[in-house]
Amino acid sequence: MKGLLSTKMIINRLIVNLANRIIPNEKGVVVVLVVLSMIVMLGFLGLTLDVGCGYAQKLKLQNALDAAVLAGVQALPSDTTKARNDTIAYAGKNGINLDAGDITISYDCTEITCSKTLSVPLFFGAAFGLNQCQVSGSATAAVVSSGSPVFDYVIFSSDPSGELDISGAHDTFDGKVHVNGNTDVSGSHKNFNYDFECAGSMSVRGSNNRWQTIIMQDTDLLDWG
C-alpha cells in the first residue's frame, strides 16, 4: 500500500513540474502582456504624430500656393515673366521653393496654375521602414473680366410722378435702366446694352442710339420723336 502511495506521489510531482514548465508563472505573463501593449500603443502614437506633421505640411504648402498665384495673377495678361517671378517670390516668403516648371500659364495669359509636391520625413515611421511621405498642393488664379455689372441696374428711378432726362452723346450703359415715371432720351450714339424698362411715357429724340430691349407697360406711350 505504501509503495502504491509513493508511486502516486511521484506521478503527481512529475505532472506539476511538467505543468510549471509548459505554463509560465502568471506574474511573468502579465509583465509580457503589459510590455507588448505599451509597444503597440507607442506605435499608434508615433503614427498619429507622423500623420499630423504630414497634414500640417500639406496645409502650409496649400496656403503658400494660394498666396503665390494670387500675387502672380496681378501681372496677367500683360506680363507673364513678372507673373512667374512674383509667384516664385511669394511662395518663397512662405517657405516654399518653386521652380519655373511648377508654374503653368494658360495660352491666353489669363490663368496661372502652380503645383508642388514635397517629401515630408517621418520620425516614427522609420522604425517600420517608412522614412518619408509625399504631400501635394495645387492652386489656380485667373483674370476675370468685369462682364455683367455687379448691380442689375445702372439707373433706377423709382418716382412714378417724376421724369428721367437722359441727354448727351457717346454714352454706354452697361446695366439695366428702370424708370417708374416718364423718360426723355435725347442726343446720339448711346449704347444701352441691357434692358430699358419704362413704366410711364417715353420720348426718344436723336440718332445712332443702340438699344438692347425696350420694355414698356404701354407701347402706345413710346414716342420716337
Residue 48 C-alpha cell reads as: 498619429
Average pLDDT over the chain, rounded to whole? 78
Residue 181 C-alpha cell reads as: 415715371
19 inside domain: no
Q: Supply the pLDDT for residue 157.
A: 77
Chain segment 151-199, per-residue pLDDT in tens? 567 787 777 787 888 888 888 888 888 888 899 898 888 888 888 988 8
29 inside domain: no
Note whether 168 and 200 are same-domain residues.
Answer: yes
Of 189, 188, 199, 194, residue with least CA distance to 213: 194
pTM of the model: 0.48
Note whether 135 and 179 are same-domain residues.
Answer: no
- Asked if residues 104 and 71 have their Cβ atoms less than 8 Å apart, the reply is no
192 inside domain: yes
Mean pLDDT computed over 83-94 = 92
Whole-angstrom distance, CA of residue 188 vs CA of residue 135: 61
Amino acid identity for residue 203 in this structure:
S
Residue 91 burial (C-beta neighbours within 10 Å; 0-12, 13-18, 19+): buried
213 inside domain: yes
How many domains is the chain built from? Answer: 2
131 inside domain: yes
Whole-angstrom distance, CA of residue 179 vs CA of residue 164: 7
Asked whether the predicted pLDDT for residue 133 surpasses 80, the reply is yes
Residue 50 C-alpha cell reads as: 507622423
Residue 7 C-alpha cell reads as: 508511486
Q: Supply the pLDDT for residue 174.
A: 82
Chain segment 28-78, per-residue pLDDT in tens? 555 556 556 666 666 666 667 777 787 888 888 998 899 899 899 989 888
Mean pLDDT computed over 96-106 = 91
Note whether 40 and 122 are same-domain residues.
Answer: yes
The rounded percent of the chain whose pLDDT value lies above 70 is: 72
- Domain, as residue range, for 213: 153-223
Cis peptide before 77 (omega within 30 of 0): yes
92 inside domain: yes
Length of the chain: 225
